[in-house]
Amino acid sequence: MAIDIGPVKKERPKENNIILILPILFLILSFMVYFLIAFLFVPQKNSEIQKLTSEISNLNTASVNSNIKELNTAKVFISDFKILLDNSPKMSKFFESFEAWKHPQIVYSNLKIDSSIRNVSVFGKTTTNRNLMEQIATLKNEQSIESYELSNIVVSETGETSFNISLIIKAGLLR
Amino acid sequence: MEQKQINLLIAGVIVVLIFGVFQYLISPKYQEMIFKNSEIESLQGQIKNINDYYSFTEASFQKLKNAGWETKKDIIGANFTSSPFFFPKAHHLLRNLASQNGLTVSNITNSNPVDILKTQEEYKDLLQGPVKKTTFNLSLLGTQESFKNLLSTIENQARIITVKNISVLPVSTYAGPIPEGFLNFNLSVDLYSY
């Protein structure tokens, strides 16, 4: 009877293999994740960024820029025009109003108007001071006049009356 | 040393290696990817905003065109263009307006253009352009009716002419025969330019 004297194969326990295989698998997996991120995802993102950047630079077209320039010009022109127009008093309205409330028997002359302070000063002359009284009564009720001030009233022996009158017109009248 | 111990040692080394890979390779690249993602989002947002702005601009420009801006621009623009011929043009305009309304211009003088920001005007801070103001003083001769018509004409001009001061005086120094009802008018107006 023959006796086998060769080396006896020892079986490695399975748990020993798992201890080695699992970490190696994780290590391989880690490297795969790294390579995926570093050589696939990041370059993809880079090319996407490049594409979007070039898209942005292509958006600044000449026609859009000229439209924007024209709109800005229009905005400034229209805004300034409106402001200046709104602040330009309509002096003709004062003359219309003056015709309406001035006494027919008083002769007015030396009219001075300063539109910035809405001040009107005028010299008046009439045959009797009753006309001046009537004029004052009209001025008191006149809606377009904010205030008035009489000065240099001179009544002659014949009753002829001369005076200066200074008025502040309401802002609404000159709009 | 037993085989099992050797295996455990190698596994330990590999685990440390895995941590190293995560810490020094994967994590920085992952952070980089996150950063790139936010950069992409920001660029996409920018593109959307620019497109929205362009659409708004295009729509506004179309509205402006439909409102006849091309012709209105010339009318309004006359108030805000600077030209070396500003003074002769303004003198010509004022003389024309006066004569169209039956008034004789005996004299016109003007100030130098003043930056409106340096004036006392209440509305100066509301203006957007570099508006300059020039005052013109006109001495006129004519009837009160003609003068009233001149004021109405001035107010209806596309070119803004702001009436500052008016004085009406009897004619005293006029040489030659004076028609009845004629008066001397001193008119001070402001014209604007850029």
Closest Cβ–Cβ partner in A16, A45, A92 for B40? A45
Q: How would you label A30-41 residue by residue, b for 16+ Cβ within 10 Å and e otherwise?
A: beebbeebbeeb
Contacts of A53 in chain B (CB under 8 A): 43
The rounded distance, in Å, linking the Cα atoms of B40 and B55 is 22
Structure tokens at B194: 């850029």
What's the pLDDT tens digit per position in B16-36?
Answer: 999 999 999 999 999 999 999
What number of other Cβ atoms are within 10 A of residue B81's Cβ? 10
Query: Is the pLDDT assigned to residue B129 strictly greater than 90?
Result: no
Residue with more model confidence, B54 or B4: B54
Phi, psi torsion values for B75, nearest 5 degrees = -70, -50
Give residue B139's pLDDT band: very low, low, confident or very high (50, 70, 90).
very high
B50 reaches A (C-beta below 8 A): yes
Chain A: residue nearest B191 by CA? A84
Query: Is the pLDDT assigned to residue B13 strictly greater than 80?
Result: yes
B164 reaches A (C-beta below 8 A): yes
A:117-146 residues touching chain B, CB 8 A cutoff = none
* Sequence-distant (≥ 6) Cβ neighbours of residue B102 within 8 angstroms: B142, B143, B146, B149
Residue with more model confidence, B127 or B171: B127
Task: Tell me the mean pLDDT in the region B122-144.
Answer: 91
Task: Tell me the mean pLDDT in the region B146-172.
Answer: 91
The rounded distance, in Å, linking the Cα atoms of B91 and B96 is 8
pLDDT at residue A10, as a whole number:
57
**Residue A170 backbone class (left: φ over 0; alpha: ψ -120 to 50; beta: rest):** beta
B:128-147 residues touching chain A, CB 8 A cutoff = 128-129, 131, 144
Closest Cβ–Cβ partner in B14, B44, B64 for A24? B14
**Residue A137 backbone class (left: φ over 0; alpha: ψ -120 to 50; beta: rest):** alpha
Give me the CATH topology for the region B86-193. Alpha-Beta Plaits (3.30.70)
What's the pLDDT tens digit per position in B105-124?
Answer: 999 999 999 998 888 888 88
Contacts of A30 in chain B (CB under 8 A): 18, 21-22, 25-26
Q: Where are the domains of chain B?
A: 1-67, 86-193
> From first to last of its 175 residues, what are the pLDDT tens digits of chain A?
555 555 555 565 666 678 889 999 999 999 999 999 999 999 999 999 999 999 988 886 788 888 888 899 889 888 999 999 898 999 988 888 898 899 999 999 999 999 989 999 999 999 998 999 999 999 998 988 999 999 999 999 898 999 999 999 998 888 8
How does DSSP assign B91-137, residue by residue?
A: HHHHHHHHHHTT-EEEEEEE---EEGGGS--TTGGG--S--EEEEEE
Query: Is the pLDDT assigned to residue B165 strictly greater than 80?
Result: yes
Residue with more model confidence, B52 or A19: B52
Phi, psi torsion values for A145, nearest 5 degrees = -110, 125
**Residue A111 backbone class (left: φ over 0; alpha: ψ -120 to 50; beta: rest):** beta
| Alpha-carbon distance A116 to nearest alpha carbon in chain B (angstroms) | 6
Residue with more model confidence, A31 or B83: A31
Closest Cβ–Cβ partner in B15, B73, B161 for A77? B73
pLDDT at residue B71, as a whole number:
86
Upper half-sphere CA count for residue A141 (Cβ side, 13 Å): 8
B1 reaches A (C-beta below 8 A): no
Residues of chain B above pLDDT 70, percent: 97
